[in-house]
Amino acid sequence: MRPSLWRLARIVLLLILVYCIFSAATFTRNQARFQRFLASQYITWDDFSPEYAIALHAKDEKMLQRDTFNYTLPFPQSDGIFAANDSIPRMIHFIWFKDLYKSRPGVTEIPSVGSNAPALCESFNPGYTVKIWDATAARELLEEHYAWFLPTYDGYKYPIQRIDALKCFVLWHYGGVYMDMDIACRRPLDPLLPFPAWFPEASPFGVNNDLMAARAKHPLVLSMLESLARRDKNLLFPYLTIFWSTGPQFASDLVKEWYLEHDTVPTTNHSSKGEAGPDEWFVLPQEFYSEEFTFFAHSPGGTWHGDDVAVVLWFVAHPLVFWSIVGLVFGVPLGLVLRWKLNSRAQVRPRWATDV
């Protein structure tokens, strides 16, 4: 390699390395800020009435029935509380497309453990509208109100992407609580309705999209559905494509984008939550989502997972191995190039060394 080309190659490699380091540092810094903000947005015990919090902590299910308590939070909006259209309506949405994966018999049947999820939610929440969206109802909604999205909707490579996308349109159009079919209600949901919107905490970071709630026409949900087309990218592997284009990573990224764009002020305590406007959103922490005091029951899900998911999830559980492989992928070629350059210099002896 000629010296000029080698210098150019070194400059390019250095710029790539600096860009990668800068991007990683920026991502890490923003992610850390975002995680701290999510923690500040937790729905906490203080957001329930003292009597309800005591009953919930004691798991006194008889005391937790919906007629026992006044669930309304003291948000100083509209004469002391959010107006009806500024809080989550009493509506629960499920989505079930029959024969979603015709090439994989059985996987799209309603999960056996969670098959009674709609009935359970109705029993715990009398007076709620519980709607199960099928493929026909989904298309009718899009054709009538959101025809601009149909090319993206019909073009999705994986059917589960259409279900994920529909979640956003249903919540934007009607508001309410969306639940995957492998999630069911364990108790009344009224204590979670006075918030304008909330998303469940994901592990190890971000939020999930298997359970979401929002008032109708919430601007964050609008941002999500308007971003679906630009996120429609094929990332080679089914799991990664779904995860990033419409799945949990999509939801987390859009919530983080909203936070970074709006520079939202954290609501770190109950009194400041009361000052939040109808466009704010909150986080349902693990203890109310999938841990000891949860409002919801979970059965095994992931019917959209393909063979590649085991590999991806293994790397998520073993990040040191993942970054070691990344280091080898980029480090070994760079090391070989440097070794070749050193060897080349050693072989080119200076003129004075050959003079006798």
pLDDT at 95 over 60: yes
Region of 125 (left: φ > 0; alpha: ψ -120 to 50; beta: rest) is: beta
- pLDDT at position 273, please? 57
- Over residues 5-43, the pLDDT tens digits come to 667 766 766 666 666 665 566 666 777 788 899 999 999
Nearest to 89 by CA among 218, 253, 247, 272: 218
Q: How far apart are the first and last CA of the chain?
A: 30
CATH topology of domain 41-306: Spore Coat Polysaccharide Biosynthesis Protein SpsA; Chain A (3.90.550)
Worst-scoring range by mean pLDDT, 3-17, 95-109, 255-269, 311-325?
Answer: 311-325
| CA dist., res. 74 & res. 70, Å (int) | 11
Asked if 168 and 100 count as a contact pair (C-beta separation under 8 A), the reply is no
pLDDT confidence of residue 145: 97
- Taking the C-alpha atoms of residue 162 and residue 246, their distance in angstroms, rounded to an integer, is 8
Tens-digit pLDDT profile for residues 268-301: 444 445 556 889 999 999 999 887 899 998 875 4
pLDDT for res 112: 43
Predicted model pTM: 0.74
* Beta bridge partners of residue 298, listed in sequence order: 183
102-114 tens-digit pLDDT: 555 544 444 444 4
Dist CA 122 CA 119 (whole Å): 5
Question: CA 156, CA 286: separation in Å to the nearest integer?
Answer: 31
| Nearest in space to 294 (alpha carbons), one of 183, 182, 140, 210 | 183
Rg (CA), the chain: 26
**pLDDT grade, residue 314 (50/70/90)?**
very low
Band the pLDDT of 74: cuts 50, 70, 90.
Answer: very low
Residue range 189-206, pLDDT digits in tens: 999 999 999 999 998 889
Q: Which of 201-205, 221-225, 299-303, 327-331 has the largest mean confidence?
A: 221-225
Q: Angle 309-317/238-245 helices, nearest 10 degrees?
A: 70
Confidence of residue 330 (pLDDT cuts 50, 70, 90): low
Would you list the domain boundaries of the chain? 41-306, 307-346
Out of 61-65, 129-133, 341-345, the most confident range is 129-133
With pLDDT > 70 as the criterion, what percentage of the chain qualifies? 62
* Segment (H or E) for 129: strand 129-133
Lowest mean pLDDT: which of 165-179, 193-207, 282-296, 305-319? 305-319
- Looking at 170-184, 247-261, 303-317, which range is the least confident one? 303-317
A 10 A CB-CB count for 347 gives 7
Burial classification of residue 25, based on how many CB atoms lie within 10 Å of its CB (0-12 exposed, 13-18 middle, 19 or more buried): exposed
Q: Report the pLDDT value the prediction gives residue 296, as an integer from 0 to 100.
A: 93
Mean pLDDT over the full length of the chain: 77
Amino acid 99 reads D
* C-alpha span between 215 and 281 (Å, rounded): 10
Determine the Cα–Cα distance for residues 112 and 221; give it in Å rounded to an integer: 31
User: How confident is residue 265, by pLDDT bands cut at 50, 70 and 90?
Assistant: low
Which string of b and e fits 47-79 if b means at least 16 CB within 10 Å? bbbeebbebbeeeeeeebebeebebebebebee
Predicted pLDDT of residue 21: 65
